[in-house]
Each structure stands twice: as C-alpha cells, then as structure tokens.
Amino acid sequence: MNAKALAAEFIGTFMLVTSIIFVALFSYGNAGNVGVCLSVGFTVMALAYALGPISGGHFNPAVTLGLVAGGRFDASKSISYIIAQCLGAIGAAGFTALAASGRADLKLGNFASNAYDTAGTYSMISVFTVEVVLTAFFLIVIMGATSKKAPAGFAPIAIGLTLGAIHLMAIPVSNASVNPARSLATALFGGGLALSQVWMFFVAPILGGVIGGLIAKWLHDE
C-alpha cells in the first residue's frame, strides 16, 4: 500500500470533516445550512484537485466501497483506505474539540452528530432512505464525472457541487452524513444518543454507495 495515498486520505478526510463541523459549531448562527453546504462543497472540490492525483480523493468509506462495487478501485486496498479516513475524521473532531475549549460559553452539545427519531429529525425509515439514495446519487456523479467520456479536469467541480447540494437536502432530515467516517468521529465526541445510532450512518451510506457504484458501472459499461 502506498503510504502517500493513505496520508492523502487521512489529510483529505481531516479537512473535509473539519469544514463541516467547524462551520456547524462556530459559524452556524451566521452561516446556517447554506454556509455548511458551501464549506463542504468548496473543500471537497479543492481537495479533489490537490489530493485526488495521489489517492483518488475518496475521503469517505462509502465512496471507497462504492468504487470497489463499480470496478474502479481494488478491494484489497479498501480496508487501509477506510482506516485512514476514519482516523482523519476522528482527528478533525478532536481538533474541533480543542478549538472549542477556548470558549467557556460554547456548548459542544451533540457535536453536529447525525441522528433519527429525535426532536428536529425524521423517522428511522426517512433517514435511512435519504442516506441511501443521496449516497447512491453521489457515487453516480463521481463515477460519471471521472469516466473517460467526461470532459477532463472538471470532475472535482461536479463532485464538490454535488456534495454541497446533498448536504443542503439532507441536513434538515439526518444532519447529513453520507460519510461513515464523519458520523463516527462526531458520535465518539458527542456520545450518548449519537453513539448508539451511529450504526445507521454506516449501513445506509455504504449500502447507497454500493448501489450507486453498481448503477454507474452499468450505465457506463460499453
């Protein structure tokens, strides 16, 4: 396994998760949901350009496994990628907690965790469906934008805009996961309910990623 590729996945996931929870925790009062969506979209776009040539720019276990299902990534490398991604996400949550410790009046609360069947969220069925469908949509865009038929050099733009749009759609329903590493990291620091429900945000995005990868493989198969 290429150590540089794993480092790129760690760094990329660290920055991606930081872009989400920093805005959610520190800037939400001014930025709102739109600010979170812009932050995550712009960040993944920049990371795809900067680190994509090194590791492929997955930054998400659901993307890695979706690309395996779609025939775009070697399954033997997937576990190492997922470990690097989860460690990067946990590092981002720890970094955020450290930054928040400088404000005595700042309440970490649920640490921007994902949830279902709680105040302000929807039912388990609703959240599961949204996470599956939107992650599948994300993989279809990723595989289409990076296909040989797509215009060269524009894939990060399509991927970044899509992830921003997905967050705009999903935040009111599930607080937008579509990324098990992001959900694990915030749940570990949020604890309680978030940690007891984190299984959902592994199962649904991974299932969606695999479905999306298979659909995209079929669509682009000649």
Instruction: Read off the pLDDT of residues 172-214 as tens digits, 9 standing for 90 and up.
Output: 999 999 999 999 999 998 888 889 999 999 999 999 999 999 9
pLDDT for residue 104 is more than 80: no
Summarize pLDDT for 6-45 with one digit per residue, the tens: 999 999 999 999 999 999 888 887 888 898 999 999 999 9
Distance CA 116, CA 197 (A): 8
Q: Which two tokens stand for residue 123?
A: 């039912």
Identify the CA nearest to 220 among candidates 164, 142, 110: 142
What are the residues whose beta carbons fall under 8 Å from the beta carbon of 102, sequence distance 6 or more? none
The mean per-residue pLDDT over the stretch 139-154 comes to 93
All domains in the chain, ordered by first residue: 3-220 (1.20.1080.10)
Q: For 31-40, 61-70, 104-113, 172-181, which range has the lowest pLDDT when averaged over its residues?
A: 104-113
Which position has the higher pLDDT, 62 or 24? 62
Which DSSP letter does residue 151 get?
A: P
Q: Which two tokens stand for residue 113?
A: 């965790």
pLDDT for residue 222 is more than 60: no
Identify the CA nearest to 209 among candidates 141, 157, 138: 138
Which residue type is seen at 200?
M
- φ, ψ of residue 122 in degrees (nearest 5): -105, -175
- φ, ψ of residue 117 in degrees (nearest 5): 55, 35
